[in-house]
Amino acid sequence: MKNEIETIKKSIWDSASLIGRSLNLMEVCGTHTMAISKYGLRDIMPPNINLISGPGCPVCVTSITDIDRIIMLSRKYPAGIFTFGDMIKVPGSDSSLYLERSRGSDINICYSPKDALDFAIGNPHKEVIFIAIGFETTIPLTAVLIERARMQDIKNFSIINLHKLVPPALKALLEDREIRIDGFLSPGHVSVIIGSHPYEFICKEYGIPCVISGFEPYDIMTSIDMLLRQIKQGKPEVQIQYSSVVRESGNPGALKIIDQVFNPCDSDWRGIGCIPGSGLTLRKKFVNYDSSLRFPIEEINSADPAGCICGEILKGKKNPGQCRLFGKSCRPDHPVGPCMVSSEGSCAAYYRYERFKSHFVKNLP
């Protein structure tokens, strides 16, 4: 494997030298973000290859307004709220789910959406709300959960729907003239569900190459090499490096259950704003499982924390080393923004693996 890595590295350097100009290659998967930092892949890139992180962390792109709504709901209603662990410490405007739980709110960490529904079934007199968050990877699980709740006529269960779709976000990034992206490392887990076709607009409309990558260092370096070859040849297309699990058509069964339960809708992304068609809403026959209808909350005007640049980081405009809060008032034990909270967040990755490296230190304000 060492010889294979060296061969790929040489190919990357040769292609980068022939291309000459500076290139921004963006990964849009939190697992890729962590792997690039953990295995020091930036350290072995040619000087003109800049690996930048995009909105690949579902917790990170959840708007602060949505966080505040959940906090307010936990204060106002005596429902049991179930959430994945990454969400619990994300700061809202003046609190977090972690703090609200310490103050008596019924907030529970679960490891599977099924845990929340099972609790609702076992406690029919207790309202149970599941925070449904994630990209296409986790949406089928929520869809199956809702279908099961309806078939069993479970009346005390609902979801806070924070699911988001990746391709519309990539389109929004490409439409932003302040961001230059020369190639995408597309998310392997998401692509297992949706396949490769939803990315074709990236090549056809914007002339940008795209490679669906696996998660090991070898996979990521191979994918970077594939991107550079496309750029060098001037023939952008969607390629699948992660071909052991990703098919062009994706997972038809998963796509079918998503379509049965959800309709596309507009959705707010932290740092990006409202992206048309990037969210999901429950179809009419499932609306009884929408917690926003069953547990209304008044309008909230929220603002991101002063000095936090998570929004700019999520768009690839800046990296954590350019934030004046990084490692000071914002740390894993005291996060200011979501990118420091989530295990897939850029700031968490930089803090854990890269904050003492020369390429990072030079960016410190």
How far is residue 188's CA from residue 186's CA, in Å, rounded to a whole number? 6
Q: How do the pLDDT tens digits run along the chain, 365 residues long?
A: 667 889 999 999 999 999 999 999 999 999 999 999 999 999 999 999 999 999 999 999 999 999 999 999 999 999 999 999 989 999 999 999 999 999 999 999 998 889 999 999 999 999 999 999 999 999 999 999 999 999 999 999 999 999 999 999 999 999 998 999 999 999 999 999 999 999 999 999 999 999 999 999 999 999 999 999 999 999 999 999 999 999 999 999 999 999 999 999 999 999 899 999 999 999 999 999 999 999 999 888 888 889 999 999 999 999 998 999 999 999 999 999 999 998 889 999 999 999 887 655 445 44
Phi and psi at residue 342, to the nearest 5°? -70, 145
pLDDT at 107: 97
pLDDT at 303: 85
Q: How far is CA 268 from the centre of its chain?
A: 13
Task: Write out the two tokens for 64.
Answer: 């602060």
Per-residue pLDDT reduced to its tens digit, 29-83:
999 999 999 999 999 999 999 999 999 999 999 999 999 999 999 999 999 999 9
The domains found in the chain, sorted by start residue, are: 2-57+178-187+199-240 (3.40.50.11750), 59-165+250-294 (3.40.50.11740), 310-361 (no CATH)
pTM: 0.94
Which residue is listed with tokens 């977090």?
96
CB within 8 A of 163, min separation 6: which ones? Answer: 132, 133, 134, 135, 138, 139, 142, 262, 279, 280
pLDDT at 360: 58
pLDDT at 362: 46
Q: How far is CA 313 from the centre of its chain?
A: 13
How far is residue 3's CA from residue 8's CA, in Å, rounded to a whole number? 9
Phi and psi at residue 217, to the nearest 5°? -50, -40
Per-residue pLDDT reduced to its tens digit, 305-346:
899 999 999 999 999 989 999 999 999 999 999 999 988 899
pLDDT at 5: 86
Query: How many Å is the Cα radius of gyration of the chain?
Result: 21
Which residue is listed with tokens 């269960």?
157
Are 345 and 339 in contact, with CB atoms under 8 Å apart?
A: yes
**Percent of the chain that is helix, strand, coil (3-state, to 5):** 45, 20, 35
Q: Phi-psi bin for 304: left (phi > 0), alpha (psi -120 to 50), beta?
A: beta
